[in-house]
Amino acid sequence: MEQTTGFWQFIAQQSDKLWSQTLAHVGLTLISLIIAILIAVPLGIWIARKQRIAGAVLGFAGVLQTIPSIALLGIMIPFLGIGPKPAILALFLYALLPIIRNTYTGISGVNAAVIDAARGMGMSNWQILTKVELPLAFPVLMAGIRTATVINVGVATLAAYIAAGGLGEFIFGGIALNNSNMILAGAIPAALLAILLDFLLSLLQRVNLKRVRVTYVILPFILVTMSSFYLLPTQIGGRMLGGFTPEFMGRQDGYLGLKKVYHLGIETVVISDAVMYKAAFEKKLDVISGYSTDGRLKAFNLITLVDDRHIFPPYYAAPIVRQAVLDKHPELEAILNQLAGVINDSTMTALNYKVDELKQSPEKVAMDFMRSRHLYRPARNGSGGTIRIGSKIFGEQYILAQMYKILINGNSELQVETKTGLGGTKICFDALTNNQIDFYPEYTGTGFLVLLQPDEQTTKKLGGDTDGVYRYVSQQFNEKYQIKWLKPIGFNNTYALMMRREQAQSLQIKSITDLTKHLNKN
Amino acid sequence: MITAQNLIKHFGTATAVNNISFEVKEGENLVLLGTSGCGKTTTLRMINRLIEPDSGTVFVNGTDIRTQQPEVLRRGIGYVLQNHGLFPHYTVAENIAIVPRLLKWADQDIRKRADELFQKLNLDASLAGQYPAALSGGQQQRVGLARSLMVNPPLLLMDEPFGALDNLTRISIRKEFRALDELVKKTIVMVTHDVQEAFEMGDRICLMDKGEIKQIGTPEELLFKPANDFVRGFFDEQRLQLELRSVLLKEVFPESDASSEVSVWDRMDALLHPENGNLPADDIRIGDLMRAFETYKRK
């Protein structure tokens, strides 16, 4: 019940944002759909006439369909930058296959005797196409357009990854922030949108075949009107542009804090951290929200701005383990603590750089490091039960998971199973509390602000206090979840604002305060 | 009306039509007869340019058809197909209005002409609003014919027009078609593989094989004066029946007062099936009939 009330409250509070995201979502979906129809329908008709190349065209469209969406978006950044353009192009590519295939199937399926009669009666090729082939292929063709529409509503959520807006901002923000209301506020409208658009198109599909001509007028009209809701965001000329992750945008120790404490007034777009660093390097973005130990910092020649008013809380990494597991395997704690205090910020950045940029495997990087620090012992291959290590879906967590695997294998009779790539904080933490994994590396700040979500007073009191935050999360996790925080590993992977080195130097920006002053000048 | 000269058509390496020439006179009914693959359909389709010959010329009314835009040419020539080719998404009324609409006829003219043809073709007026799928095979074929007759073209091309019908329907529709005044004045080129049909419908028959014309002439000429062994062999199986059908009773019994419609076969049929009640009041018997027929043949 509390959950429901919270949801409606959230909707009420965020109604402006929800409305603009929904419009952006509809716009992205329909603009790409219109372009896809304009290209795919003629292409489908064409390959129905040239059966020999039909296989090649359908095959190519099929290959496009198999490219993972986020990868496709990433590929396009160097050419199209970030924002709606690459998003629309990607959605367009995904909509091609169903429309081409159904147009082709529909046109090929028209009875040859009917075409022959039409030609024999003296109809021109254009008349045969518009009066015979298209009307007869129409139901199949429309089915293809409906499929493409539903696919596009789904894929358009990913547009939030590359600063194109849409309901994905709530969905991914909600996942990152462990905020179910936010996830639902994005997911429910997206689902309703898919159902609604599909329903509207189904009405068109059932239109009496003779009235198909009416459809030729109505369909473009509806599509154009609905997509016109979405005016392409005006280009920000000359001013600095910030690109922040959905998670950062919604956090007190993120964008909200920047606004409140620093009064930072910068144009922002929402973007995935997978493409954010690259977009900054390509000068599509000027300020990004990164992590201080990220290997890409080194790879893309970015610098972090000093947080001179201490809004970013400490994010010291430490393994968090279910107490039940420690009770069952008491030797585990000492083994995991062998890594305590061993890795500092610059070491972690260098390790991340090897994985993220030099493309070395996390296994190799972990092994090299463990050998160099004399922490490696040959695996005992024991049979004393299995420990399941989880990790979030980025390089640093993969490396840490591998290091713990090496430690456990070398120092105990326990076996290890790694479950890496568990999405964001919420997914990982839920896996832990639901006994899907036994431990994973977590950050004190994340545990404090995202998982515990203390009241404002506590947050203010403990804000920048490294030890205070660690003590607080240790105690709270133990009480609430029977989960133990082991000793911190040493490095502090906190949020940081980053800029290109040469831009920061030429503008003489070293701290966030400098950035705010610079923005206020212009 | 139609003059075809030295038509040749290849499909890839196969020769479909190999240098054929023929003429069709105004008001004549020419049947292109042959087994499948003999080139008869290709020949037919070269007359309305659905297929363009590799070489050779077709004149319709003295005009080389290549000088006319194909669409315009086809709108002036009726075209009936085996599988009727009715548009499944058009009602019967809409289907038969296709060519008139292409020729921009006024709505009331279309309606008037449609009513007229509905009557002549024994189609119930209530069918006008139906879709083709709701019609019987015979009805579909009649609608297909009505569609080709709407603008009253002087020339009609028919490609196996009765091929998709069952035997009984085919025979009755054929009879109906022959009696149709609309068709009497028309020049018709019809393709069939059915020998009975060819003899029944054709003023002249053009027998084709492997892309060539083996003989072109009246049914009697093909039966009694075959030009070669192929023609003779082609009719062997049904020879007696065909012969009896193609000879008029009057020719065998000049003194008989039978009309010029009655063939020897009809008379014999009446003798063998008196229960049908159409036995005329003369005293010709089967023996007399056969003897007279043999005598006639020897002449």
For the residues of A234-275, what is the DSSP string, one character each?
PP--SS-EEEE-HHHHT-TTTHHHIIIII----EEEEB-HHH
* Interface-testing mutation among A111, A114, A126, with chain B (most B C-beta atoms within 10 A): A114
Residues of B in contact with A119 (CB under 8 A): 50, 74
pLDDT per position as a tens digit, B10-22? 998 888 999 999 9
Complex prediction ipTM:
0.85
**Neighbouring-strand partners of residue B10:** B15
Please tell me which of the candidates B74, B87, B94 has its beta carbon nearest to residue A122: B74
Using a CB–CB cutoff of 8 Å, tell me whether A114 touches chain B: yes
**How far is it, in rounded angstroms, from Cα B24 to Cα B117?**
26
pLDDT for residue A210: 55
pLDDT for residue A1: 39
Nearest CA to CA, how far is A91 from chain B (Å)?
A: 34
pLDDT for residue B154: 92
pLDDT for residue A163: 78
Instruction: Match 């990913």 to its residue by tokens.
Output: A158
Q: How many CB pairs under 8 A join A and B?
A: 62
Q: Which residues of chain A have pLDDT under 70?
A: 1-5, 207-216, 219, 222-223, 225-238, 522
**How far is it, in rounded angstroms, from Cα A291 to Cα B63?**
85
Q: Do A122 and B72 touch (CB under 8 A)?
A: yes
Residues of B in contact with A121 (CB under 8 A): 74-75, 79, 98-99, 102, 147-148
The highest-level CATH class for domain A317-492 is alpha beta
pLDDT for residue B279: 63
Please tell me which of the candidates A114, A135, A210 has its beta carbon nearest to residue B85: A114
3-state secondary structure of A385: coil
Query: Residue B273: pLDDT above 80?
Result: no
* Interface-testing mutation among B44, B52, B65, B71, with chain A (most A C-beta atoms within 10 A): B71
Using a CB–CB cutoff of 8 Å, tell me whether A125 touches chain B: no
3-state secondary structure of A422: coil
User: What are the b/e assignments for B247-280, b being 16+ CB within 10 Å?
Assistant: bbbbbbbeebebeeeebbbbbbebeeeeeeeeee
3-state secondary structure of B33: strand
For B47, which residue in chain A has the nearest alpha carbon? A120
Q: Which of residues 42-101 of A touch B (CB under 8 A)?
A: none
Q: Do B86 and A127 touch (CB under 8 A)?
A: no
Using a CB–CB cutoff of 8 Å, tell me whether A132 touches chain B: yes
Q: Do A120 and B87 touch (CB under 8 A)?
A: no
Q: Do B75 and A127 touch (CB under 8 A)?
A: no
Please tell me which of the candidates A117, A135, A136 has its beta carbon nearest to residue B81: A117
Q: Do B89 and A127 touch (CB under 8 A)?
A: no
**How far is it, in rounded angstroms, from Cα A291 to Cα A395?**
12
pLDDT tier at B269 (50, 70, 90 boundaries)?
Answer: confident
Instruction: Classify residue A513 by burial, with Cβ atoms within 10 Å: 0-12, 13-18, 19+.
Output: middle
pLDDT per position as a tens digit, A15-62? 888 888 888 898 889 889 989 999 999 999 999 998 889 989 999 988
Q: Do B89 and A122 touch (CB under 8 A)?
A: no
**How far is it, in rounded angstroms, from Cα A107 to Cα A104?**
5
Residue type, B151: V
Nearest CA to CA, how far is A119 from chain B (Å)?
A: 8
Nearest CA to CA, how far is B294 from chain A (Å)?
A: 46
> Which residues of B lie closer than 8 Å to A, measured between beta carbons?
48, 50, 70-76, 79, 81-90, 94, 98-99, 102, 147-148, 157
Residues of B in contact with A116 (CB under 8 A): 50, 81, 85
Strands B14-24 and A386-390: unpaired
Nearest CA to CA, how far is B287 from chain A (Å)?
A: 50
pLDDT per position as a tens digit, B72-87? 999 999 999 888 889 9
pLDDT per position as a tens digit, A154-192? 999 888 888 788 888 888 888 877 788 888 999 999 999
Hey, what CATH topology would domain A2-227 get?
A: MetI-like fold (1.10.3720)
Residue type, A238: G
Please tell me which of the candidates A114, A123, A135 has its beta carbon nearest to residue B102: A123
pLDDT for residue A228: 60
Do A279 and A272 form a contact (C-beta atoms < 8 A)?
A: no
Q: Do B72 and A132 touch (CB under 8 A)?
A: no
Q: Do B85 and A120 touch (CB under 8 A)?
A: yes
pLDDT per position as a tens digit, B3-12? 999 999 999 8
Q: Do A117 and B84 touch (CB under 8 A)?
A: yes
Q: Do A122 and B75 touch (CB under 8 A)?
A: yes
Hey, what CATH topology would domain A241-312+497-521 get?
A: D-Maltodextrin-Binding Protein; domain 2 (3.40.190)
Residues of B in contact with A120 (CB under 8 A): 48, 50, 74, 79, 81, 85, 157
Q: Do B89 and A113 touch (CB under 8 A)?
A: no
Do A3 and A10 form a contact (C-beta atoms < 8 A)?
A: no
Residues of B in contact with A129 (CB under 8 A): none
Residues of A in contact with B151 (CB under 8 A): none
Nearest CA to CA, how far is B78 from chain A (Å)?
A: 7
Residue A333, both tokens: 């704690």
Q: Do A136 and B98 touch (CB under 8 A)?
A: no
pLDDT for residue A232: 46
Q: Do A135 and B89 touch (CB under 8 A)?
A: yes
Using a CB–CB cutoff of 8 Å, tell me whether A128 touches chain B: no
pLDDT per position as a tens digit, B120-175? 888 888 999 999 999 988 899 889 999 999 999 999 999 988 877 787 778 888 88
Q: Do B102 and A122 touch (CB under 8 A)?
A: yes
Q: Do B89 and A209 touch (CB under 8 A)?
A: yes
pLDDT per position as a tens digit, B205-234? 999 999 999 999 998 888 888 888 899 888
Domains of chain B listed by start with CATH number = 2-236 (3.40.50.300), 247-298 (no CATH)
Using a CB–CB cutoff of 8 Å, tell me whether A112 touches chain B: no
Residues of A in contact with B157 (CB under 8 A): 120
Nearest CA to CA, how far is B170 from chain A (Å)?
A: 20
Q: Do B147 and A114 touch (CB under 8 A)?
A: no
Domain extent listing, chain A: 2-227, 241-312+497-521, 317-492
Q: Do B50 and A121 touch (CB under 8 A)?
A: no
Q: Do B89 and A124 touch (CB under 8 A)?
A: no
Q: Do A209 and B81 touch (CB under 8 A)?
A: no
Using a CB–CB cutoff of 8 Å, tell me whether A467 touches chain B: no
pLDDT for residue B74: 93
Residues of B in contact with A125 (CB under 8 A): none
Q: Do A113 and B84 touch (CB under 8 A)?
A: yes
DSSP string, A6-50: HHHHHHHHTHHHHHHHHHHHHHHHHHHHHHHHHHHHHHHHHHHH-
Instruction: Match 């998404």 to its residue by tokens.
Output: B89
Nearest CA to CA, how far is A133 from chain B (Å)?
A: 10
Identical topology for domains A241-312+497-521 and A317-492: no
* Interface-testing mutation among A121, A134, A209, with chain B (most B C-beta atoms within 10 A): A121
Report the side by side order of strands in the sheet with B155-159: B77-80, B155-159, B187-192, B29-33, B204-209, B212-217
Residue type, B19: N
The helix (run of H) or strand (run of E) holding residue B112 is helix B107-120
**Neighbouring-strand partners of residue B204:** B30
Measured CA angle at A236 (ends A235, A239), to 5 deg = 160
